[in-house]
Amino acid sequence: MSIRNIVNAYDQLDAFDLRVLRIIEIGHRKFEFVPLDVIVNWSKKPEELIGKSLRRLNSLGMVIRYRGNYTGYRLTFMGYDALALHTLAKRGIVEALSPTPIGVGKESDVYAGDAIGGGKIVLKFHRLGRTSFRQIKRFRAWIGDRRHITWLYESRLSAHTEYKALVLAYNAGLSVPKPITVNRHTVVMSYINGALLSEVNEVDDAEDVYWGIIEDVRKMFRDVGVVHGDLSEFNVMISLDDNKPYIIDWPQWVPRNAVGALDLLHKDILNVTRFFVRRFGLDVDVEEVFNYVIGGVE
């Protein structure tokens, strides 16, 4: 699913189609597949008009139809993308998106974009599937036992979780992308002109870059009370402008006092240290660094 296909499909929608998508989105609070009669009742429009819109949305891949003991509809990620992009455009956040992603992972797609008024931004679309058991387990404490919960809602929780961490980190002065806004499953942040640390073979001062990362990990732990939880060379970007490291990808962060937080912190430090030892030949003791990060924290 490319963003070009999403935009092309979005351009074929009218205001009523978007309203129907929104009704289905709201209906997901109670149903995995929102019954047709519920959609008709909430829209206060004739069933014939609703049916025409649903057929168009289904043909565009924005909804999936269920036929069993009742007829119901569920949003797809394409439909959810359309709602998010519509809202972001109306709010004056995004004007255009790159046709190809700058990053694709198991749980997200990342696109560069142009902000209205100028400047480059990044849009990260969270896409948790039914097999994302790690994230679902984390969110279960928030969503309770709502068995109808959809992967779209899980993705929304993931996006809002990451956005909260970015706000905390950015406000504390850490080197992270500047958070701009979040809508549904989409986080909008500043664009970093750089490369993933995993793709970097040479840096001006590897030791300085390493300690820049560690100092941010320490500050986030000690001052903000947060552990990244999945830190490695694959979620640190090195700026091509000033060689500065930026920590990205925060949806799995945990509070400092969470069960297992220290183990996650140790793993974060171990992952980064091993990479710098292997790639750049740094002589660093993981346990000393770990003790430095947590020293004096009750």
User: Any idea where the domains of the chain sit in the sequence?
Assistant: 3-78, 91-190, 194-294
pLDDT of residue 8: 86
Place of tokens 């390493």: 210
Burial class of residue 73 (count of CB atoms within 10 Å of its CB; 0-12, 13-18, 19+)? buried
The amino acid present at 31, given as its one-letter code, is F
Model confidence at 20: pLDDT above 90: yes
Report the range of poorest mean pLDDT among 4-8, 58-62, 203-207: 4-8
Residue 297 is predicted with a pLDDT of 63
DSSP string across 63-125: EEEEESSSEEEEE-HHHHHHHHHHHHHHTT-EEEE-SS-SEE-SSEEEEEEEETTS-EEEEEE
Position 256 scores a pLDDT of 96
3-78 belongs to CATH 1.10.10.10: yes
What SS3 state is found at 16? helix
When pLDDT is averaged across residues 255-259 and rounded to a whole number, the result is 96
Q: For residue 130, name the pLDDT band (cuts at 50, 70, 90).
A: very low
pLDDT score for 6: 85
Is it the case that residue 298 has pLDDT exceeding 60? no
Mean pLDDT for 6-19 is 92
Going by CATH, does the domain composed of 91-190 fall within 3.40.190.10?
no
Alpha helices by DSSP H, the chain: 3-10, 15-27, 36-43, 47-59, 77-90, 133-143, 151-171, 206-219, 261-280, 286-294
The whole-number pLDDT of residue 3 equals 78
Least-confidence region, from 6-10, 215-219, 264-268: 6-10
State residue 289 phi and psi, 5-degree precision: -65, -45
- 296, pLDDT greater than 50: yes
- State the average pLDDT over residues 66-91: 95
- Dig out the tokens for 199 from the structure: 């793709």
Give me the mean pLDDT over the 167-185 stretch. Answer: 98
- Which among 169, 69, 80, 164 is positioned nearest to 125, based on CA atoms? 80
Do domains 91-190 and 194-294 share one topology? The answer is: no
Query: Quick one: 194-294 is in which CATH superfamily?
Result: Transferase(Phosphotransferase) domain 1 (1.10.510.10)
Supply 295's token pair. 């020293």
**Active-site amino acid positions:** 230
